[in-house]
């Protein structure tokens, strides 16, 4: 019913930048929550950035302390796409990054996950 396709991961040097994208398709009415999580080897999955829609044009963004000032979450409503711009990357940002959406699909609010994209930051 809903497909999420992530792109943009890869290898970057410390101090560099990467931009992740997650495009959702399917019978989606609206997407009130768009988030990015990451999971490093041996660690639990953690929330990195969140964009919550509180109205037609009202959004609230939040970030993990570890990425504040470096990462920016944005969305393209017409494309049901969320991006994560990652600047000033650090080796500790190395992880698999997952997009997560809460979306209304055929009258039900559900949780949907992307397949994950690897981000590796070398020192």
Q: What is the mean pLDDT of the chain?
A: 95
pLDDT, tens only, 77-118? 677 999 999 999 999 999 999 999 999 999 999 999 999 999
For residues 70 and 87, is the Cβ–Cβ distance under 8 A? yes
Mind listing the pLDDT tens digit for each residue in 19-74? 999 999 999 999 999 999 999 999 999 999 999 988 777 889 999 999 999 999 99
User: Does the CA dihedral 76-112-2-118 come out positive or negative?
Assistant: positive
Residue pair 52/59 in contact (Cβ under 8 Å)? The answer is: yes
Q: Is the dihedral of CA 44, 50, 87, 117 positive or negative?
A: positive
């Amino acid at each position: 019913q809903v497909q999420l396709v992530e792109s943009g991961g890869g290898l970057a040097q410390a101090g560099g930048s990467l931009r992740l994208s997650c495009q959702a398709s399917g019978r989606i009415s609206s997407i009130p929550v768009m988030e990015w999580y990451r999971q490093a080897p041996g660690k639990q999955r953690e929330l990195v950035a969140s964009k919550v829609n509180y109205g037609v044009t009202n959004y609230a963004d939040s970030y993990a302390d570890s990425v504040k000032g470096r990462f920016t979450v944005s969305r393209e409503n017409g494309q049901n796409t969320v991006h994560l711009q990652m600047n000033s990357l650090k080796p500790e940002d190395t992880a698999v990054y997952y997009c997560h959406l809460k979306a209304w699909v055929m009258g039900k609010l559900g949780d949907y996950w992307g397949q994950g994209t690897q981000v590796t930051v070398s020192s």
